[in-house]
A = this chain, B = another copy of it.
């Protein structure tokens, strides 16, 4: 084990997490939700580590958000009892697993269409019914019913389905769309009231809109993942500074083939190819004018043309990834440190859980 070592002594590439920055990120977000009187449900996809979810709950989070049944099973086995799975679930063996999970934890799922609702209903029964939220597409263009009428129609179908309980509304919004989200939610709530349907949960989400959650007064809870570590996309969104990014990928310069080219030992297997709208593959903290221009699986090719400073072969560099969540999924373990001294190594328990 490397506890007590300097992170400078770790073999690269490695993803390291600054405990102090992470704790501050958790605390600041929770204080915001406490202040506006809203439940907060962290999405575990960013870290996939039960010990970190436990810390989020210790600071006051309400429960956890998973994206797949397989992730939820890992966290239920780790003792978490309040789990929302925000993915349309289909398929008999998956629904059998969901039914078993519903006997163990306080479970909520989502649906945005009748096929999913009917499938869920076929697997559940009245004595242990499943709570289902209607997922609403408020502009992000992914899953979700398209308008309040459709939301209410699906809520009614859930309400009429044996084994299911209509439990609320949910959206994963596009950034800076609070007005559209509030309009969708409030209109739907009004229609649900007319229809005599109670709606205990109204779930808003997203790290980019975390500190604007108060602009959606209809919401009862907020879900977010990335905020715990932050990343380059969150800085771009204006939600944090580079100093608030808890995850760095450490890499080593292994080649300097030309004056303006450096090659690092961190490729797409360490940083992922997820550009998230950027034109390059992460920020080199100590060489901000350099650009990680191309990745292959184990190499990053850095363009130093605009960088006055040029790193030497053997030099270690720190990278803030474009998207932290997908980096966690590539490493079996994340290394934690305080002031550069390794404090613990956590297995990324739900890494690779895709079904």
Contact = CB atoms under 8 A, between A and B. Distances in A.
A288 interface: no
Interface in A240-280: 252, 254-258, 261, 263, 265-266, 268-270, 272-275
B263 A115 contact: no
Given A142-B296, A255-B112, A299-B143, A329 B91 contact: no
- Chain A's interface size range is 35 or more
B91 A252 contact: yes
Contact of A90 (B94, B270, B296, B314): B314
* Copies of this chain, tallied across the complex: 2
A255 B68 contact: no
Interface string A34-57: 000000000001000000000000
A252 B91 CA distance: 9
A93 B273 contact: no
A116 B313 contact: yes
A31 interface: no
Interface in A161-187: none
Given A273-B326, A330-B352, A332-B352, A255 B88 contact: yes
Contacts of A268: 272, 274, 326
A32 interface: no
A144 interface: yes
A313 B11 contact: no
A113 B313 contact: yes
B142 A263 contact: yes
Nearest to A89: B254
A250 B256 CA distance: 41
B255 A354 contact: no
Most central of A141, A255, A256, A275 by chain B CB within 10 Å: A255
A355 B263 contact: no
Interface string A99-117: 0000000000000110110
Contacts of A146: 257-258
Interface of A: 11-14, 45, 67-68, 87-91, 93-94, 112-113, 115-116, 119, 137, 141-146, 252, 254-258, 261, 263, 265-266, 268-270, 272-275, 294, 296-299, 301, 313-314, 325-326, 329-332, 352, 354-355
27 contacts: A11-B94, A11-B355, A12-B355, A13-B354, A13-B355, A67-B297, A87-B265, A87-B299, A90-B252, A90-B254, A91-B252, A112-B257, A113-B313, A115-B314, A116-B254, A116-B255, A142-B257, A142-B296, A143-B255, A144-B255, A144-B257, A268-B272, A269-B354, A270-B354, A273-B273, A297-B326, A329-B330
Top 10 closest pairs, chain A to chain B, by CB = A88-B254, A115-B313, A273-B274, A273-B273, A11-B355, A143-B255, A67-B298, A332-B352, A143-B263, A269-B354
